[in-house]
A and B are shown apart, each in its own frame.
Chain A
Amino acid sequence: DGGITQSPKYLFRKEGQNVTLSCEQNLNHDAMYWYRQDPGQGLRLIYYSQIVNDFQKGDIAEGYSVSREKKESFPLTVTSAQKNPTAFYLCASTRPNVRQTQHFGDGTRLSIL
């Protein structure tokens, strides 16, 4: 079945450490997105990519980095510059048409040790 796979499901970060969250999709979607979810705040956009080798900052990009070397993959790195990384991170993808629906993975929960 086609879908979006996020790994790991749970991740722990030590002080000063960078961690990378994986997002892979086999839906043949061009556009991919990373969101951060905090209680009571809905979802906030971190980065998005509409095509391979190109990506744009979202509303809260500081302390995060991404790459888009393959159509299927859009990994997110949470750097040590992100001072409050504890959150639930969601990856999504869609075809590049405003009428299309975004499909979501099952998320990665990141916590600080």
Chain B
Amino acid sequence: AQSVAQPEDQVNVAEGNPLTVKCTYSVSGNPYLFWYVQYPNRGLQFLLKYITGDNLVKGSYGFEAEFNKSQTSFHLKKPSALVSDSALYFCAVRGGNTGKLIFGQGTTLQVKP
């Protein structure tokens, strides 16, 4: 069965420091991996995705993610965090050919000034 795990409920970083939000996955076949961000009482906004090719994927707002097949991980990173990056982040993997996304439970990122 396909699954996604985000091992940290919350990540705290100081503004200007690098940030990492962790994600591991389990999927049969080729993984299609996604990161979304959610601000309070809003829908999910797409940040980036890995389909194939380069293991380092660059996305919106300066975020990037590194696909590691041997560790089945897809961690989200940013070199310098902003207070405005504080939000809820979801990792997701696409299962089968239905387009269904399987989501992790989410990680709250808190960036302090």
Contacts and interface: CB of A to CB of B under 8 A. Distances in A.
B44 interface: yes
A40 B108 CA distance: 10
Given A42-B90, A107-B42, A107-B43, 20 more contacts: A33-B99, A33-B100, A40-B9, A40-B105, A40-B106, A41-B105, A42-B103, A42-B104, A43-B44, A43-B90, A48-B98, A48-B99, A92-B44, A98-B94, A98-B96, A101-B46, A102-B101, A104-B36, A105-B43, A106-B41
A33 B90 CA distance: 17
Interface of B: 9, 32, 34, 36, 41-46, 49, 51, 90, 94, 96-101, 103-106
Contact of B43 (A41, A90, A94): A90
Contacts, number: 63
Size bin of chain A's contact surface = 20 to 34
B44 A90 contact: yes
Nearest to A56: B98
A94 B32 CA distance: 14
Given A40-B105, A50-B99, A103-B46, A98 B41 contact: no
Contacts of B46: 101-103
Contacts of B43: 4, 6, 90, 104-107
